[in-house]
Amino acid sequence: MRLLSLVFAFVVTTTPVYAQEPAPTELAEKQVLEDVLGPIAADRLFTDAQVAVQVVEVATGEEVWSRNADLALNPASTTKIVTAATALRTLGPAYVFRTVLSADALPDAKGVIEGPLYVRGGGDPTMVVEKLWRLARDLELAGVTRVKGGLVLDESMFGPDHALPGWDKERDVERGPSYFPALSALSLNFNTEAIVVRPGESGKPAVVLADTPAPSAVEIVSTVKTGRPGSRHSVEIEREVKGGRTVYTVSGYVPEGAPVRRYHRTVDDPTAYFGAAFQALLTERGIQVDGAPRVGVTPDDSEYLAEVASPPLTSILMDMNKFSSNFMAEQVLRTVGYETRGEGTTAAGLAAVREYLSGIGITDGYTLFNGSGLAQEGALSPSALSGVLLDMARDPRVGSEFRSSLAIAGLDGTLKRRLRDAPGRLRGKTGTLDGVHGLAGYVEAQDGSLYAFAFLANGFRGGSARVKRVHDDFAQRMFEVSSDATADESRE
């Protein structure tokens, strides 16, 4: 029995002028897939919206089924497939992000650092307050008692531009939802503050505070009141930038006895947030830091003190793709730019993406603004997506790492609640914006054959449920594909 390994994406390929005529088995294969998948195209989604699809066999690279395959549509978060592939190729699966502490001179016998404490950021997308606490603890264990020169925050790997390009939705800029983060080489907690709301006694103010105290960078103003048990729970948060600080104004009501809730909102200046939180932790550990944190550059001859490293890139890409983290995708893309072009910018990262795509024969059919797909005018054709999927499926060095980064249908990530009757048989990356939904990845057929797929839909009305239904129908039909059927067809 021949193993079929296909790539699915709504894409069109170009047939060489002198290509040989398809063999009877190949023609039968296409006919079987047309019989299996063709009815999907009768769904009203294909007339009510823009839809594009392609199926390509991995072993041969031949297209076996498609609809509007070269149509470049907004890919939303399926863009992260391209970001992950580029990162694996350029950085390697074992790449780690490092945050390093150093000083002009080692602490003296009393534990005093006479000059500044340099904190050089490495773009770590996994830096959270627990890891920052470890850095503070390491300094304490090293005997440091005072930093006379204050904290110098070195964000130079990425530079001072914290904005995520490609998304300028005014309401999101004002509110700071967690899916629209600022970026920095020194980032903390995905550059969001968790605002903790806990009820007090009925008629009294609720307790509202920052989960990670960063006094000089974050301020919370609360008028939240505690209502009677069982009363309405309503909390509103407005975000404003005042004098370099991110101010959250929290209002509303919480019922007495209600559980503690956390509301996540982005900070405006992630480097300042990192510095303020780190200084607060150092003070908590009994280390005196003179002055306020400031931005600067680490001297080349500074003395190493401590560091904290991220998990390897492979692990980071799993979180990035399975849970569709925009923040992680953008930090990874800027790191790609820094390591390949010496510039930790989105533009440099996208230049590396274009070079990777060109290297596998994709020179058009896309317009990318960032690495996450959070863009109002982004465009990517299923043919480009399938090209990346095909390349990753054939790469013995990073192909397994790429595939393992995708959500497993019925088991985890953004596909945990889908296709539960066949858990583990589909791995994919979803993408959703208003009027946009896509799915791309790999699927296992009835006989164990492996396929890759991409399915984009734009311009539909209402929520994405109807698109997900068509995607799931597509997957269920692919689960039933068998090479026996192709063999039977070719004998007729």
Q: What is the pLDDT of residues 151-208, one digit of tens each?
A: 999 999 999 999 999 998 888 988 999 999 999 999 999 999 999 999 999 999 999 9
The residues of the chain that CATH labels 3.50.80.20 are 97-310
Run of H or E including 473: helix 465-479
Using one digit for the tens of pLDDT, what is the confidence trace for 297-317?
999 999 999 999 999 999 999
Spell out the residues 6+ positions from residue 49 whose beta carbon is closer than 8 angstroms to its own. Answer: 457, 458, 459, 460, 467
Give the largest Cα separation in the chain, rounded.
Answer: 89
Q: What gap in Å lies between CA 299 and CA 313, rounded to an integer? A: 27
Are 489 and 31 within 8 A, CB to CB?
yes
Are 210 and 194 within 8 A, CB to CB?
yes
Long-range interactions of 461-468: CB distance < 8 A, separation 24+: 461/48, 461/435, 464/432, 464/437, 466/45, 467/45, 467/49, 467/437, 468/418, 468/437
Q: In what order do the strands lie in the sheet with 98-103?
A: 294-295, 151-154, 117-120, 98-103, 303-309
| Structure tokens belonging to residue 51 | 């839809």
Using one digit for the tens of pLDDT, what is the confidence trace for 438-462?
999 998 888 887 888 999 999 999 8
Are 449 and 6 within 8 A, CB to CB?
yes
Choices 3.40.50.1390, 3.30.1360.120, 3.40.390.10, 3.40.710.10: CATH for 5-93+314-491: 3.40.710.10
What does each of the 492 residues of the chain score in pLDDT, given as a tens digit? 333 333 444 333 333 333 345 555 566 667 778 888 899 999 999 999 999 998 787 777 788 788 999 999 999 999 999 999 999 999 999 999 999 999 999 999 999 999 999 999 999 999 999 999 999 999 999 999 999 999 999 999 999 999 999 998 888 988 999 999 999 999 999 999 999 999 999 999 999 999 999 999 999 999 999 999 999 999 999 999 988 899 999 999 999 999 999 999 999 999 999 999 999 999 999 999 999 999 999 999 999 999 999 999 999 999 999 999 999 999 999 999 999 999 999 999 999 999 999 999 999 989 999 999 999 999 999 999 999 999 999 999 999 999 999 999 999 999 999 999 999 999 999 999 999 999 999 988 888 878 889 999 999 998 999 999 999 999 999 898 876 655 444 434
Phi and psi of 61, rounded to 5°?
Answer: 75, 10
The residues of the chain that CATH labels 3.40.710.10 are 5-93+314-491
* 97-310 fold: D-tyrosyl-trna(Tyr) Deacylase; Chain: A; (3.50.80)
